[in-house]
Amino acid sequence: MTAAERGVLIVGAGHAAGALAAALRQGGFEGPITLVGEEPLPPYQRPPLSKAVLKGEASPDTLLLRPAAFYADKSISLRLSARVVAVDRAARTASLDDGSVLGWDLLVFATGSRLRALPVPGVDARGVLELRTAADGARIREALAPGRRLVVVGGGYVGLEVAASARALGAEVVVVEREARLLARVASPALSAFFARAHAARGVGLELGATVAGFETAEGAIRGVRLADGRLLAADVAVVGIGALANDALALAAGLACQDGIVVDESARTSDPAVLAIGDCTNRPLPRYGRRMRLESVPNALEQAKQAAAAILGKPVPRAELPWFWSDQYDLRLQIAGLPFDVARTVVRGDPDAGRFVVFHLDADNRLQAVEAVNSPAEFMAARAWAAAAQVLDPDRAADPGVAVKQIPVDAPAAG
């Protein structure tokens, strides 16, 4: 893009960026659109990296959001394997690592998040891997085989999905988690206990409340994971997944308001009206809860892409969606909607031992704040709508699987 033909410049070419570019063209935007992404691939989805693609059930080319030809067809310029290194808001330019400078009228940060580093000895050894990109996924896939010993550091969603996929590939797996339970930051104790049992039953070793002191190596390759209590877990490969941080350094350096992510409003606008931000890199308002926070999920990236497209096209801001998320491990599909703010009580419906149950999170007035559902899609769909509407539930009816789902809200018509 030359200075004469300025348009929308999107920094990052991931899920949010790809969705925004497509939505702009679909909405009739005719100006130049440029995506600059440091990865070599056009926008692709990451969720299958730890699931179907890792297990070899789907080929990596199914990851692309749209065929590569889509971008040329729609006159969307893709600058791949290129990194934006500086943004000048006064001059409305962005500098790339190859020395080129691009102009823009509207700039969109869609820089995603990066993995939190584990600062321990041996972390750079061969066989100590992480999973964020398609290239990372290919490396892990190559390292796993029947009988290979894998240690997963971090019992969050990605770590547990890697553990489940590695078991399917016949690897021996141990998960090391610093907290006393799995999914400690992101799930209820009931769900954590369920997944701990599910993994243990499928042969995964669990080290909870355990800290990694370092990786033992031989000739530059991992041979084990040393725990802080002195024990050594033998390992041929390790995958470190201990959370992610917003890629907001560029925005911060450009003088934009950032606080655990780039601060945006309900139109995805930053503190500079000519600059928007979408996806994992943002700290966004959550009108349903009167709060703001950073989310890492595909639905969030898609929702904010829609908000940004509306803002750029001058259309009304779409109605805020309730955050939701999913995770697949073995034959277990977890679906979560809402966030557990101000929870006064949780109600479990169904039988965790049967691998099918729902956890309702209620506030002090029994309004549904969030729901966690395992292999319960019908209950999930109903509860997702209730959580969005802050519906009051009857906790006793919610807990009783003999009561029909539609009878759980307090104002449901009497059964009969």
Q: Which of 235, 243, 242, 224 is nearest to 173 (CA)?
A: 235
Strands 149-153 and 172-177: parallel
Exactly one of 10, 21, 34, 46 binds ligand FAD (CB under 6 A); which one?
46
- CA–CA distance from 374 to each of 8, 190, 350 (Å)? 41, 11, 10
Structure tokens at 149: 């010993």
- DSSP characters for 360-391? EEE-TT-BEEEEEEES-HHHHHHHHHHHHTT-
Total of chain residues touching ligand FAD, rule CB under 6 A: 36
Stretch that binds ligand FAD, among 69-77, 143-151, 204-212, 320-328 (CB under 6 A): 320-328
| Cβ-based nearer residue to ligand FAD, 50 or 366 | 50
Nearest distance in Å: CB 296, ligand FAD: 4
Q: How many residues does the chain have?
A: 416
Binding segment (CB under 6 A) for ligand FAD, from list 65-73, 199-207, 222-230, 324-332: 324-332
**CA geometry: angle at 46 spanning 161 and 304, to 5°?**
120
Closest separation between CB of residue 74 and ligand FAD, Å? 18
Using CB under 6 A as the binding rule, whether residue 12 contacts ligand FAD is answered as yes
250 is a site residue for ligand FAD (CB under 6 A): yes
37 sits near ligand FAD (criterion: CB under 6 A): yes
Position 34 contacts ligand FAD (CB under 6 A):
no
CA-closest candidate to residue 412, choices 396, 399, 393: 393
**Contact between 207 and ligand FAD per CB under 6 A:** no
296 in contact with ligand FAD (CB under 6 A): yes
* Cross-strand pairs, 399: none
Shortest Cβ distance from residue 299 to ligand FAD (Å)? Answer: 6
Enclosing H/E stretch for 325: strand 324-329
Residue 38 or residue 405: which is nearer to ligand FAD going by CB? 38
The 8-class DSSP code of residue 47 comes to: G
Beta bridge partners of residue 349, listed in sequence order: 358
Residue nearer to ligand FAD on the CB measure, 94 or 222: 94
Binders of ligand FAD among residues 149 to 178 (CB under 6 A) are 158
Backbone angles phi, psi at 366, to 5 degrees: 65, 20
Among the listed residues 32, 122, 261, 279, the single contact to ligand FAD using CB under 6 A: 279
Residues 76-115 that bind ligand FAD (CB under 6 A): 83-84, 110-112
Helices (H) and strands (E) in the chain, counts: 10, 26
Distance from C-alpha of 135 to C-alpha of 403, rounded to nearest angstrom: 48
Among residues 8, 9, 10, 16, the one that binds ligand FAD under rule CB under 6 A: 16
Q: Which is nearer to ligand FAD, 134 or 405 (CB)?
A: 134
Query: Using CB under 6 A as the criterion, which residues of the chain lie in contact with ligand FAD when the complex forms?
Result: 11-17, 36-39, 46-47, 49-50, 83-84, 110-112, 131-132, 158, 247, 250, 279-281, 296-299, 301, 325-327
